[in-house]
Amino acid sequence: MATRFGDWLNERSGWRAAYTMVFLRKIPKINWAYTLGSATLFAMIIQIVTGILLTLYYVPDPQLAYASVGYITNELPFGWLIRGLHHWGASAMVLLVVLHMVRVIIYGAYKYPREFTWITGVALLLLTFSFGFTGYLLPWDQRAYWATVVGTQIGEVTPVVGDTLRAVMLGGEEISGLTLSRFYGAHVWVLPSVLLLLVGIHIYLVIRNGITSVPKRGE
Amino acid sequence: MVEEKGHPNGIDEQPATDAKPKAGEDLDHRVSRRKLLVTGVGVMSGAIAATVGVPAIFYVAGPAQEQGGEQDWIRLGTASSIETGTQTLMKATVERRAGYLTTTEELSVFVSTENGADFVALSNICTHLGCRVRWVDDQNAFFCPCHNAVFGPDGTVLEGPPPRPLDRFETKVEDGQIFIRRT
Ligand code: HEM
Ligand code: FES
C-alpha cells in the first residue's frame, strides 16, 4: 500500500531520485564531528517550531510584552516547556554552529571547491548571532533592556556610521516601543527568511560538492 | 565497531555481513545496519516530535480552558433607589481577564421591583442580535431600535424577531446594596 502510493507519487514527482541524492548519497568514511552541521539544522527546526508556538501568545508591545511572556511561562499549560526549549535552544544553536565551524576549520573543509559553502556558513553564523541579539530584547525585562543598551552601544563604536547605525537599530535615540517591534519583526520575519534561504543554499552546496574526507597525515 | 570492507557506505540494501556468521546463525533474518539505523532515527524523531507536539496541543488549547475570571456577585448600587412600577437602569463595571489582559466592561442592567424587597434584573442586551434596548415608561415596554423588537416589563417578547426573553440576572440584597450574578 505504502509502496504503491510511493510508486504512484514517484512516477509524477521523481521523489525517489531526490531522496537518494539527499539521504543515500555516497560519503567517505567520516566521524561524529561531521554530524555537527546536521545537529545545528535539527536545533534550527526546534527553534522554528517553538518560536512559532510562542508567537501565538507573545505581543511585541511595550505595555504587554512582559505580561504576555509571564502568561506563557507561568499560566499556560506547558508554556514553560515551549519557552524553555526556545530559550535553551538558542544557546544550543550558537554552541553547535561554532563547533561545526571549528570542525570545518580543523579539517580544512573550507578549501576548494567549498569556499562558497564556507561563505554561506559565515553568513549563517552571523545570522545565528543576530537571532540571539534580537530575541534577547523580546521578554522586555531589565536584563533584556540593558543587554540591548550594551549591544547597540557596541554597534555605536563602528567608525563613521556608528551613531546612525545605533539610531537605525533602535528606531530612534532611545530604546522604545519602536525598538521592540522592529526587533520582533527582524526576529520572526526578516532573519528566518534569510536563514531558510541560506540554509537551503548551504545544504545544496554540501550535497552538490560532496563531503570532505578526514584529512590524512601529510595532506 | 564493525570493520567496513569493500563498499564504503555505498547504496546497497544488503545486510552488513562483514562480521563472520556465527555457527547456526540465520543469515536471512539478520537486520541490516541500514535498516536498524533508519528505524532508530525514525523512532527517535517520532519521540522528539511527540515531546514537543503533545505539550503543544495543551499549550494551544490553554486559554479555551480558562474562566473569564469575572467576579461572582456584582454590586449595582443601593436598593432603596429603585422605585416600584418602573425600570431603573443601573451600571456596573466588571473586570474581565483574558490571558495577560484585564479589561473593564460596562454592564447595564434594568432593575425593577414590585414590593421593594424582591428585585428583577434584566440585561439591556437584545436577545436578537445584541443591540441595546431602552425602556419607555409611557408604553410600559422595552424597545430595540435595530429591528423593532418590543419586550414586556418582565422581559418577555411582545413583538419582533428575538428568540427568547431578555436575559435575567440572579439578584440579592445585602446591607441595602443590590447585587447581581449571571445565571
Ligand atoms: C545555521 C547554521 C548552519 C547549518 C544549519 C549548517 C549545516 C551544515 C550541514 C548539515 C553540513 C553537512 C556536513 C556537516 O554536518 O558537518 C554542513 C557543511 C559545511 N558547513 Fe555548515 N551549517 C551552518 C553553519 C556553518 C558555518 C557558521 C560555517 C563556517 C563559517 C559552515 C561551513 C560549512 C562548510 C565549509 C561545510 C562543508 C564541510 C565539508 O564538506 O566537509 N557552516 N553545514
Ligand atoms: S437586535 Fe434587537 S431586534 Fe434585532
In this structure, what CATH number is given to the domain that contains residue A36?
1.20.810.10
Considering the segment(s) B70-182 as one domain, its CATH architecture is 3-layer Sandwich (2.102)
For chains A and B, what is the number of CB pairs under 8 angstroms?
Answer: 55
Which positions ≥6 away from B99 have C-beta within 8 Å?
A: A57, A68, A71, A75, B63, B66
pLDDT number for residue B71: 62
User: Residue A152: is its pLDDT beyond 80?
Assistant: yes
Q: What is the ipTM of this complex?
A: 0.89
Which atom, in ligand 1's list, is nearest to the CA of A195?
1
CB-based burial, B73-92: b 16+ in 10 Å, e otherwise: ebebbebeebeeeebbebeb
> Average pLDDT for residues B168-181, to the nearest whole number?
92
* Pairwise pLDDT comparison (A119 vs B79), residue with the higher score: A119
- Closest ligand by atom to B125 CA: 2
Give the mean pLDDT of B82-89.
90
Output the pLDDT for position A126. 98
Buried residues in B153-181 as b, exposed as e (16+ CB within 10 A): bebebeeeebeeebbbbebebeeeebbbe
Q: Is residue A91 part of a domain?
A: yes
Element (H, E) at A26: none
Cell numbers standing for residue B20: 563472520
Mean pLDDT for A141-147 is 94
Q: Is the pLDDT of residue A59 over 60?
A: yes
Average pLDDT of chain A to the nearest whole number: 96
- Beta-sheet pairing, B168-174 with B157-159: unpaired
By C-alpha distance, the chain A residue nearest B59 is A77
pLDDT of B69: 57
Q: CA A121 to CA A94: how far, in whole Å? A: 13
In a domain, A21, yes or no: no
Biggest CA-to-CA distance, chain A: 66
Closest CA to A89 of A121, A123, A41: A41
Average pLDDT, chain B: 85
Percent of chain B with pLDDT over 70: 82
Q: A77 burial class (0-12, 13-18, 19+ CB within 10 angstroms)?
A: middle
In the beta sheet, which residues pair with residue B104? Answer: B95
In which band, very low, low, confident or very high, does the pLDDT at B23 lie, cut at 50, 70 and 90? low
pLDDT of B70 reads 58
Residue A36 vs residues A32, A130, A177: alpha-carbon distances, Å: 8, 20, 38
Distance CA A16, CA A5 (A): 12
Q: For chain A, what percent of residues have pLDDT higher than 90? A: 96
Q: Tell me the mean pLDDT in the region B170-180.
A: 92
> Taking residues A143-152, what's their average pLDDT?
94
Give the pLDDT score at A146.
94
Interface of A with B (CB under 8 A): 20, 24, 26-29, 46, 49-50, 53, 56-57, 64, 67-68, 70-71, 75-79, 81-82, 85
Residue at A148 is within a domain: yes
Residues A83-97, mean pLDDT to the nearest whole number = 98
Whether the CB-CB separation of B128 and B161 falls below 8 Å is answered with yes
Does residue A158 form part of some domain? yes
Which one-letter DSSP state was computed for residue A207? Answer: H
Contact B52 A50 (CB under 8 A): yes
Residue of B nearest to A84 (CA): B52
Ligand 2, pocket residues at CB < 6 Å: B 126, 128-129, 131, 144, 146-147, 149, 160-162
Q: How far apart are CA A31 and CA A36, in angstroms?
A: 10
In a domain, A177, yes or no: yes
Query: Of B5, B35, B54, B59, which to mutate for an interface test with A (greatest number of A Cβ within 10 Å)?
Result: B59
Report DSSP letters for chain B, one per residue.
-PPP-SSSS-S--S----SPPPTT--GGGPPPHHHHHHHHHHHHHHHHHHHHHHHHHHHHHHHHH------SSEEEEEGGGPPTTS-EEEEEEEEEEETTEEEEEEEEEEEEESSSSSEEEEESB-TTT-PBPEEETTTTEEE-TTT--EE-TTS-EEESS-SSPPPEEEEEEETTEEEEEE-
Q: What is the number of domains present in chain A?
A: 1
Distance between Cα A63 and ligand 1 center (Å): 40
Strand partners, B117: none
pLDDT score of B11: 47
Give contacts of A70 with chain B, Cβ < 8 Å: 100
- Judge contact between A201 and A149, C-beta under 8 A: no
- Domain residues for the domain of A55 are 29-209
Cell of B136: 419607555
Instruction: Check whether A218 has a pLDDT greater than 80.
Output: no
A133 within some domain: yes
Predicted TM-score of the model (pTM) = 0.79
Mean pLDDT value of segment A61-82: 96
A192 lines ligand 1 (CB under 6 A): no
**How far apart, in whole angstroms, are the C-alpha atoms of residue A59 and residue A65?**
5
Q: How far is B13 from chain A (nearest CA, A)?
A: 11
